[in-house]
C-alpha cells in the first residue's frame, strides 16, 4: 500500500508502470486519474487545501477498508494539494488484483470515499472571481451503494 | 484545545487555527460559545448543515464529546478526488 499526499506533480505513466511492475501474480491493474477541467471560459487555476495529518489517516483508513472487502494485491493513492492549472492531474488511484472485477470495484470504492471523506477542499480561480467547489449530493449518495447491507 | 478552520470557514473567521479555553462538553456547546464571540464567528457557524466537524482528526457529529479532545476542526463538506 502506497499513499502519498504531495504538492508536486506526478507522472501518471511512470507511476502506473512502477505500480504494475512491482506486483506478483496480479492479473489486473485498474487506474483512475482525476484531472482539472480545461473548459472555454473556465477557471485559470485551482487551489486545493487539505488537513495535514487527518488527510493521510483518512486515506489510509479508506484503503484498509478496500483491502478487507476485495481480493487486492496492492493499492496506490496519490493526491495533490496546492496550486493546479487546468488539465493538471489532481490525483490517481491504482488497484491490483488477481481478477478485474475486484480491481474495478475497489477503485470505484476508493474514489467514492475519497471524494466525500478525505479532507480536501477545492477553490477555483476564474475570470469572474473565486469559488469554493461545492460538494454534490450525488457524491454523498454514491457512498450508499457501498453500505454493507447493499453489498453482501 | 486547538480549533482549526478550513476552506471558506477559515476565510470567514480569518484565521486557520487558534487555541481555545473552553468548558464545552460537546461540539455543539463549543459552537455556541464561538458564535457569541463576534459577528464573523456567528456568520461562519450560521448554518451547521453546511459544516462538518472532526474531533482529533476523526469525522463526527455535532453532539460528539470534546472534553478530552486536543483538536477540533470545522470545515465545509469535503471535495477530494
Instruction: Output the pLDDT for position A42.
Output: 86
Assess if residue B80 is contained within a domain.
no
Buried b or exposed e, range B30-61, using 16+ CB within 10 angstroms = bbeebeeeeeebeebbeeeeebbbbbbbebbe
CB contact under 8 A, B81 and A34: yes
CB contact under 8 A, A119 and B6: yes
What number of helices (H) and strands (E) belong to chain A?
Answer: 4, 8
Write down the ipTM of this complex. 0.95
Residue A149's pLDDT band (boundaries 50, 70, 90)? low
Assess if residue B64 is contained within a domain.
yes
Domain that holds residue B64: 2-75
Task: Choose, out of A48, A89, A119, A142, the residue to mutate when testing the contact with B (most B CBs < 10 Å).
Answer: A119
**Tell me, what CATH number does B11's domain have?**
3.10.20.30
CB contact under 8 A, A135 and B79: yes
Assess if residue B81 is contained within a domain.
no
Rounded mean pLDDT, A53-58: 97
Class level of CATH domain A2-150: alpha beta
Count of the separate structural domains present in chain B: 1
Query: What's the whole-model pTM score?
Result: 0.93
* Option in B7, B59, B80 nearest A79 (CB): B80
Domain boundaries, chain A: 2-150
Chain A nearest-CA distance from B35, in A, is: 23
Nearest chain B residue to A110 by CA distance is B81
Q: Which three three-digit cell numbers place residue A143?
A: 457512498
Distance CA A72, CA A67 (A): 6
Rounded mean pLDDT, A32-40: 93
Residue A63's pLDDT band (boundaries 50, 70, 90)? very high
Assess if residue B24 is contained within a domain.
yes
Return the beta strands (E) in chain A as ranges. Answer: 2-6, 28-35, 45-50, 72-80, 82-84, 89-97, 120-126, 129-132
Q: Is B76 on the interface with A (CB under 8 A)?
A: yes
pLDDT tens track of chain B, all 81 residues?
Answer: 999 999 999 999 999 999 999 999 999 999 999 999 999 999 999 999 999 999 999 999 999 999 999 999 999 999 999
* Option in A53, A111, A135 nearest B78 (CB): A135
Residue A101's pLDDT band (boundaries 50, 70, 90)? very high
Amino acid at each position: 500500500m502506497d499513499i502519498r499526499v504531495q504538492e508536486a506533480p506526478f507522472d501518471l505513466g511512470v507511476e502506473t508502470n512502477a505500480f504494475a511492475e512491482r506486483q506478483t501474480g496480479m492479473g489486473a491493474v485498474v487506474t483512475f486519474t482525476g484531472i482539472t477541467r480545461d473548459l472555454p471560459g473556465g477557471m485559470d487555476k485551482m487551489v486545493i487545501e487539505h488537513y495535514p495529518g487527518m488527510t493521510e489517516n483518512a486515506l489510509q483508513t479508506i484503503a484498509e477498508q478496500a483491502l478487507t472487502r476485495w481480493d487486492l494485491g496492492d493499492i496506490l493513492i496519490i493526491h495533490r494539494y496546492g496550486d493546479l492549472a487546468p488539465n493538471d492531474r489532481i490525483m490517481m488511484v491504482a488497484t491490483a488484483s488477481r481478477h478485474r472485477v475486484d480491481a474495478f470495484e475497489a477503485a470505484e470504492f476508493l474514489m467514492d470515499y475519497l471524494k466525500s471523506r478525505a479532507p480536501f477542499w477545492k477553490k477555483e480561480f476564474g475570470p469572474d472571481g473565486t469559488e469554493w467547489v461545492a460538494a454534490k449530493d450525488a457524491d454523498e449518495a454514491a457512498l450508499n451503494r457501498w453500505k454493507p447491507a447493499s453489498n453482501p | 484545545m486547538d480549533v482549526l478552520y478550513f476552506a471558506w470557514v477559515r476565510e470567514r473567521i480569518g484565521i486557520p487555527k487558534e487555541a481555545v479555553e473552553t468548558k464545552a462538553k460537546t461540539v455543539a456547546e463549543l459552537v455556541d460559545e464561538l458564535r457569541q464571540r463576534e459577528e464573523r464567528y456567528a456568520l461562519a457557524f450560521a448554518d451547521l448543515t453546511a459544516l462538518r466537524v472532526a474531533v482529533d482528526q476523526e469525522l463526527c457529529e455535532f453532539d460528539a464529546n470534546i472534553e478530552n479532545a486536543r483538536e477540533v476542526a470545522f470545515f465545509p463538506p469535503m471535495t477530494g478526488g
